[in-house]
Each structure stands twice: as structure tokens, then as C-alpha cells.
Amino acid sequence: MESFAKAGYIAKGFIYILVGALTAMAAFGIGGKKASSSDALSQVKDFPAGGFLLSVLAVGLVGYSLWRFLQAIKDTEHKGSDAKGIGKRLAYAFSGLIYGSLAFAAFKLVSGSGGGSGSGGSKEKDLVSSLLDQPFGKWLVLLIGLITIGNGIRQLIKGTTASFMKDVKGLPRDRFDVLKKAGQAGFTARGIVFGIIGFLFIRAAWLQNPQEAGGTQSAFSFLQDSPFGNVLLGIVALGLIGYGVFMFVLAKYSDISVD
């Protein structure tokens, strides 16, 4: 399980690097496109030996998903059973669901039954549309938006304080500062993206318009449409590459234990 978890970190890192690289290329006008995780998987399939590489990534994503579920159920991080601990363990389980669904999408692409990437934010729009049709649906969408913004703030705090470095054991001193900065850039970029996604959900709930919601690609478009948009988008995209690099660091130097 520990080896499986490390493979999961590598798969997650690879996807973040590809998402960041494709989006940075689009921001700087040298090709690429504003990419989601699904777009990254579709891109991998077009690589030489893409089917094999996609299969390896899918297995790694399954490993990461299982590791997250194990963290939630067995409390491997010793978060406890109080309200704060339960909240963090539920976040682990939610992460497991997200990456499990991404693994499923990868397997579908390998088998040829995947339809490729759809329009940006379509899954989020469908979710909001179905929720708004329910009693108290507006408030549920608002809650999702607030939770997502809260997660974004948590990522920003990690990026500012570099508290994520406590998970790294035995990192060589000559690489410590560089990889620390890569992690700070990565967590900050994730915080910005999550914050925008949360805002889009809140706006969709407030206006009761599912078309206002969106995921990663919609967040990228939001950045690009702002003043100095391409510059901001490029900086955030490069930050996501930094996050992917830091996932590789965790795969090698994190203290993963199932006890």
C-alpha cells in the first residue's frame, strides 16, 4: 500500500505538470490550451506509447485514491475524531472520490470508450443544475462554494507558511530551498484556482444560473479575462507545475505509513 501511495503521488504530479504546461503555453501564446485533468489524460493518450503510459497513470491514480480512503478510514495522519479531525478525514475521502473518478476516466480512455474532454466546466454546471432543482438546492450550492473557497484559503496558508514541508523527511539540504519554493508556488496556485471555483459556485447559486459555475478551465478563463489576464494565467499555470514537482518530492521523501 505504501508503494501504491507513492505511485499515486507520481501520477498526480505528472497530471499537474501537464495541466500547468498546457495552460502556460496557451497563456504565453505558444500553443497548448487551458487544460483540465481530463484534458491532460487525453493529451497523454496522443503520446508515443500513450495507451501504455495512460494505463500506468490510471493505476497510479487508483493507488492515490485508495491511499486517501485509507487516510480517512484508518486515520493514518492521527487527525482524531473531534469535529476538526472528522472534517479533515472527510476531505481525504472526498479527494479519494475525485481521483478515483479520474482513474476511471483514464481507464475509459485506454479502452477507447472515453469521449475525450468536454466543454469546460460541464460537469460542474450539470451538478449545479441538478442541485438547483432540489429544495434548498441554492443553499447546497452556496455551501459547496464556501467549502471550496475554504479549501483554497487552506492551500494559500500552506503556501505562505510552507507548513507542507513537515511532510518531507530526509530531503537533501542542497535541494531543500528550491523544492520548498516549488511547493509554495504550487500550493498558492492551487489556492487561487480553488478560490475562483468556489466563487463561481457562489455566483451560480446567487443568480440561480448553472452556466455561471465551472471547474479548473472556467477558473483559468476567469483569470485570463481579468486585467493582465495572460500574465496572471501564466504565473498560476507555472505554479501548478511547481505543485506537480512537489508531488514527486512527496513520492520519494514523504513518510507514508499505514499504521
* Ordered per-residue pLDDT tens for the chain, 259 residues: 778 888 888 999 999 999 999 999 999 988 878 888 888 888 888 888 888 888 989 999 998 898 888 888 887 777 778 888 888 888 888 888 888 888 888 888 888 766 554 445 577 888 888 888 888 889 999 999 998 999 899 999 999 999 888 878 878 887 888 889 999 999 999 999 999 999 999 999 999 899 898 888 899 999 999 888 899 999 999 999 999 999 998 888 877 765 5
Q: 259 lies in a domain?
A: no
Q: 213 lies in a domain?
A: yes
* Structural domains of the chain, count: 1
Rounded distance between C-alpha atoms, residue 120 and residue 108, angstroms: 19
Rounded distance between C-alpha atoms, residue 73 and residue 167, angstroms: 20
Q: 14 lies in a domain?
A: yes
Rounded distance between C-alpha atoms, residue 144 and residue 62, angstroms: 25
pTM score of the predicted model:
0.86
Q: Which of 225, 192, 201, 202 is closest to 124 using CA atoms?
A: 201
Residue 194 CB coordination number (10 Å): 22
Q: 115 lies in a domain?
A: yes
Rounded distance between C-alpha atoms, residue 58 and residue 62, angstroms: 6
Q: 40 lies in a domain?
A: yes
Radius of gyration for the chain, computed over Cα atoms and rounded to the nearest angstrom: 18
Rounded distance between C-alpha atoms, residue 27 and residue 235, angstroms: 9
Q: Which of 94, 118, 119, 124 is closest to 204 using CA atoms?
A: 124
Q: 258 lies in a domain?
A: no
Give the residue numbers spanning the domain of 41.
Answer: 2-253
**Joined grid coordinates for residue 186:** 504550487
Question: In degrees to the nearest 10, what's the CA dihedral of 207, 209, 211, 212?
Answer: 20
The counts of H helices and E strands in the chain are 9, 0
